[in-house]
Amino acid sequence: MTNLSEVRGALRSQHIETPTWAYGNSGTRFRVFAQEGAARDPYEKIADAAEVHRFTGVAPSVALNIAWDRVADYEDLAKHAADLGVQIGAINPDLFSENHYRLGSVCNPDPGVRRKAVAHLVECIEIARATGSSVLSLWFADGTNYPGQDDIRSRQDRLAEALAETYAAMPAEMTLLLEYKLFEPSFYTMDVPDWGTSLVHCLALGDQAKVLVDTGHHAPGTNIEFIVAGLIRLGRLGGFHFNSRFYADDDLMVGAADPFQLFRIMSEIVGAGSLGADSRVAFMLDPSHNIEPKIRAEIRSVMNVQEATAKALLVDREALALAQVAGDVLGANEVLIDAYNSDVRPLLAEVRTEMGIDPDPLGAFARSGYYERVAAARVG
């Protein structure tokens, strides 16, 4: 049977990282709709992230994107975060915004462009040192649009060389996370299109290189929890970028498209004992709030992950194992379905009360007046 005291403890100690790009004006490649009160610089983004942590209690770190979050003094930015009760999380290099990355960054056929890309990766390691971050999170937009555009094997060699140079520059306590994406912005080949390609490169690098699973980066129908289970088994699950997509694009709020899938993923995490800090699995959000209010959407996303986690913690693992060994197909499935159908909102309200925060995060944020204050102050 499930120990509710242990469930509460696990929920209180949960850590869900939010990203700075969720708080500024950002959106799809078609149009960015500006919102009143949206953060205009990294300091304001971190202030908004601190509000999400204040009302949820489980979002104590915020990821940076370099170049969007460039500042003159990164130690001062880290101090600003600490003063607000949060810390700097993963450092995400930007290797797709500059014009010279038109044909790729580390996989570009031009060695000069590749040198610029690797120099930026090493720069981000130094930024991580300055901010106290221990995670370098890599996503490459590299790929090709047409057959014959470039040599596929050569691009993999260039990728491996760049990753090896970056890995060698990392301090011992840092983890390199390598994300993958099936397609976009390249539509013929992506240089890191799937978890297998990411894993192959991580295995070649060393123990501190792990796979990052973005839940929106798969073909429709992909069994993401199978990927998660396999990576846990190999000790190579580095973390998540949680978001949602209905068709082919991603970056919607976590759990918006398929909350049952989110539960199934968290069930694998909980079942493998990989929820706690000791597992060093990074649980990060990766949305782009273009039409929905940004801070409220981040709070809702954090709550969705919390609810999926709570349901996963309520799975009767003993009953599940017995049904599996007995070959009781329906019985095993019912154990999972019973947990998923549980209304965990009262449990989470109790946990939040125990943590000294309001049991209704969205309501508390609305009553705080924070949005109205920043909307009035952030003009221009």
pLDDT of residue 163: 98
Q: Which tokens belong to 280? A: 């060093």
Collapsing DSSP to helix, strand or coil, 89 comes out as strand
Question: Among 240, 344, 262, which Cα is nearest to 17's?
Answer: 240
Name the pLDDT band for 271 (thresholds 50, 70, 90): very high
The CATH architecture of the domain made up of 4-377 is: Alpha-Beta Barrel (3.20)
Dihedral angle, C-alpha 252, 254, 260, 266, nearest 10 °: 140
At 29 the pLDDT is: 65
Give the pLDDT confidence of 142-198 residue by residue, as tens digits: 999 999 999 999 999 999 999 999 999 999 999 999 999 999 999 999 999 999 999
**pLDDT value for 290:** 86
Q: Where are the domains of the chain?
A: 4-377
Residues 84-99 have pLDDT tens digits of 999 999 999 999 999 9
User: What is the C-alpha to C-alpha distance for residues 132 and 130, in angstroms, rounded to an integer?
Assistant: 6
How far, in Å, CA of 378 to CA of 39, rounded?
7
Q: Residue 76's pLDDT is what?
A: 98
Place of tokens 């501190």: 208
At 297-345, the pLDDT tens digits run 999 999 999 999 999 999 999 999 999 999 999 999 999 999 999 999 9
28 backbone dihedrals φ, ψ, rounded to 5°? -80, 170
Specify whether the CB–CB gap between 201 and 159 falls below 8 A: yes
d(CA 258, CA 340): 12
Angle of the 370-377 helix axis to the 361-368 helix axis, nearest 10: 50
CA distance 57 to 285: 15
Joined tokens for residue 145: 């649009």
